[in-house]
Amino acid sequence: MTAVNAPPGGPRLRAEGIRKTFPGVRALQGVSISLAPGEVRALLGRNGAGKSTLVKILSGALRPDAGRIRLDGRDVQLPNPAAAQAHGIATVHQELSIVPELSVAENMLLGRWRSAGARGMFIRPAAMRAHAAQHLDSLGVAIDPAARAGTLSLADRQAVEIARALSHGTRVLILDEPTSSLAEAEARALHALIRRLAATGLCFLYISHRMDEIARVADSVTVLRDGREVATEPIAKAGTERVVELMTGDTADDAPAGPRRGKPAAGAPAVLSVRGLCVNDSVRDVSFELRAGEIIGVAGLLGSGSTELLRCLAGQVRRTGGSVTLDGRAFTPRGPRQAMRAGVGYAPADRAKEGLVLGMSVSGNLVAASLPSLRARGLLSRRQERLTACASRDRLSIKAPSLRTAVGTLSGGNQQKVILGRLLNAGSRVLLLDEPTRGVDVTAKRRMYRLFHELAAQGVSILVVSSELEELFAFCDRLLVLHGGRVVGHPPIEETTPASVMTLAMGGAPR
């Protein structure tokens, strides 16, 4: 492998021949990667390709079975995250490590009291705030060091975490899907910050499944496939189709979903009717109908009420006004289980907290919601469970060493597919999906879009929230655009454009 833009002084970070095996899985099979100072490298690969494992090794969270890591030409040992940090390698994970109860200034010093001139564990609040202000200012972000971290937006919390990393003398910053929970404008601000920092010599390893943003932020890409590095190329050469080809090894099965055929007729019956729905201040007077076989995409910025709308329809939060009917009958589920029994399946955005039983097997999770129906039909046998789980695995291309593997050890994208498989196995007629492709690789996303089309053709109705607007345009029939909890647009997909939806979602007038 050759480093892109390697300076005469050699790479900043070089990992050589990294291997890591888990029971039944060779996660990394001798991966090498070099980063030059000031380089932004995107790390790409299908779900389960080994990206997180490599990141964990570089950040000291996992020990490799073999291989060496060099920083500015010197061998380093990274037995734990503190060692990686001491060597200047910092990682910002999707689950931020900000403590919400502490102030921004206190968060900036977490684990580093001494370096700010503290004696023992005591440090003057004014000195702490000055330290935080200095580093936040140098990033050009306007965040009050005295604010409680829990009151900040996700983007600001991420900025605090980046500022904290930089205050530790970081030379390599690893960002693991940093925009997966950010709104478009926040993602762009983060990209601008990355480019500014790269210009000062900081180098980045940037993991993402979003091809649009990689083209915007990265200088080069490294593609992993089945635990091996298959290519490192400058960004100009690495268009989406080329990357898909490198990720999969072929192109045949992974063409974009294409336009939908056989959309529901205008007169198809309404399955879900929502009238004047209110949830406290987050959903206000929302009305729409979801017809049999229809796919409605909910578009809105963070705080638009889209997630609360789905949570309310799934029975997770109570409505404070309005009415909902399912097949013409009043529908007021008291929780996702009751909703599921009525045929309404819900997949939350936070799969680790709400969606899966992480210690349970893949097959257990896949059939968990369908047990009553299998039992009712006298079908509950290990064989039946296995057959159902096998069919889901094949249909959704779930990568797992075995169906008996605990779902918590699967890669993030594969966990997401297990949630979808479970809802389908439960026979849901209405699917409420919140960010169903978060963490899902570009080829698996395309398969999911095609699957949504197939399901809709079979009469399943889908209400889907996604922060990737382009994605909603790839497979939805109609959009429900929310702003401040209210519906500000409900256009058929062919009568609108991403730019006009974005304007509406930001509270602007339709174009």
Is 420 a binding residue for ligand ATP by CB under 6 A? The answer is no
The stretches of 368-497 forming alpha helices (DSSP H) are 371-376, 382-396, 412-425, 442-457, 469-475
- Decide whether 420 or 430 has the Cβ nearer to ligand ATP: 420
- Read off the tokens for 185: 């404008």
- Least distance (Å) from ligand ATP to the CB of residue 488? 34
Residue 136: its H or E element: helix 125-139
Q: Residue 35: beta bridge partners?
A: 13
- Least distance (Å) from ligand ATP to the CB of residue 408? 8
- Decide whether 336 or 412 has the Cβ nearer to ligand ATP: 412
- Least distance (Å) from ligand ATP to the CB of residue 52? 3
- Decide whether 156 or 176 has the Cβ nearer to ligand ATP: 176
- Decide whether 27 or 464 has the Cβ nearer to ligand ATP: 27
Residue 483: its H or E element: strand 478-483
- Alpha-carbon torsion, ordered 244, 247, 252, 253, to 10 deg: -90
Spatial CA neighbour of 30 closest among 249, 226, 289: 226
Q: Considering only residues 33-62, where is the footprint of ligand ATP by CB under 6 A?
A: 45, 47-53
Options 2-10, 234-242, 412-420, 421-429: segment touching ligand ATP (CB under 6 A):
412-420
- Decide whether 19 or 112 has the Cβ nearer to ligand ATP: 19
Q: Considering only residues 145-184, where is the footprint of ligand ATP by CB under 6 A?
A: none
- Least distance (Å) from ligand ATP to the CB of residue 48? 4
- Least distance (Å) from ligand ATP to the CB of residue 230? 13
- Least distance (Å) from ligand ATP to the CB of residue 214? 14
Site string for ligand ATP, 113-152 (x = CB under 6 A): ----------------------------------------
For residue 320, with 0-12 CB atoms within 10 Å meaning exposed, 13-18 middle and 19 or more buried, which class applies? middle
For residue 104, with 0-12 CB atoms within 10 Å meaning exposed, 13-18 middle and 19 or more buried, which class applies? buried
Site string for ligand ATP, 364-403 (x = CB under 6 A): -----------------------------------x----
**In this structure, are strands 203-207 and 40-45 parallel, antiparallel, or unpaired?**
parallel
d(CA 443, CA 284): 37
Q: Binding residues for ligand ATP, how many (CB under 6 A)?
A: 20
Indicate which single residue of 410, 418, 419, 442 sits in contact with ligand ATP (rule: CB under 6 A).
Answer: 410
CA 230, 234, 235, 237 torsion-angle sign: negative
d(CA 91, CA 55): 8
- Least distance (Å) from ligand ATP to the CB of residue 59? 13
**In this structure, are strands 13-22 and 66-71 parallel, antiparallel, or unpaired?**
antiparallel
231 Cβ neighbours under 8 A, 6+ residues apart:
221, 222, 223, 246
- Decide whether 226 or 289 has the Cβ nearer to ligand ATP: 226
Is 413 a binding residue for ligand ATP by CB under 6 A? The answer is yes
- Decide whether 297 or 364 has the Cβ nearer to ligand ATP: 364
- Least distance (Å) from ligand ATP to the CB of residue 419? 13
The CA-based angle 486-428-447, given to 5 degrees, is 85
Distances (CA, A) of 43 to 35, 230, 397, 443, 467: 11, 11, 21, 15, 21
Spatial CA neighbour of 360 closest among 371, 368, 369, 372: 368
- Least distance (Å) from ligand ATP to the CB of residue 176? 8
- Decide whether 145 or 412 has the Cβ nearer to ligand ATP: 412
- Decide whether 264 or 413 has the Cβ nearer to ligand ATP: 413
Half-sphere exposure of 53 (CA within 13 A, CB side): 27
- Least distance (Å) from ligand ATP to the CB of residue 2? 23
The CA-based angle 245-228-232, given to 5 degrees, is 60
As a whole number of angstroms, the longest Cα–Cα distance in the chain is: 74
- Read off the tokens for 394: 């094949």
Indicate which single residue of 297, 348, 412, 485 sits in contact with ligand ATP (rule: CB under 6 A).
Answer: 412
- Least distance (Å) from ligand ATP to the CB of residue 385? 21
Site string for ligand ATP, 9-28 (x = CB under 6 A): -------------x--x-x-
Amino acid making up residue 95: E
Indicate which single residue of 94, 282, 397, 414 sits in contact with ligand ATP (rule: CB under 6 A).
Answer: 414
Site string for ligand ATP, 194-213 (x = CB under 6 A): --------------------
- Least distance (Å) from ligand ATP to the CB of residue 433? 18
Indicate which single residue of 167, 170, 220, 411 sits in contact with ligand ATP (rule: CB under 6 A).
Answer: 411
The stretches of 140-219 forming alpha helices (DSSP H) are 154-167, 184-198, 211-217
Q: Considering only residues 430-449, where is the footprint of ligand ATP by CB under 6 A?
A: 439, 441
- Decide whether 133 or 218 has the Cβ nearer to ligand ATP: 218
Binding site for ligand ATP (CB under 6 A): 22, 25, 27, 45, 47-53, 399, 409-414, 439, 441
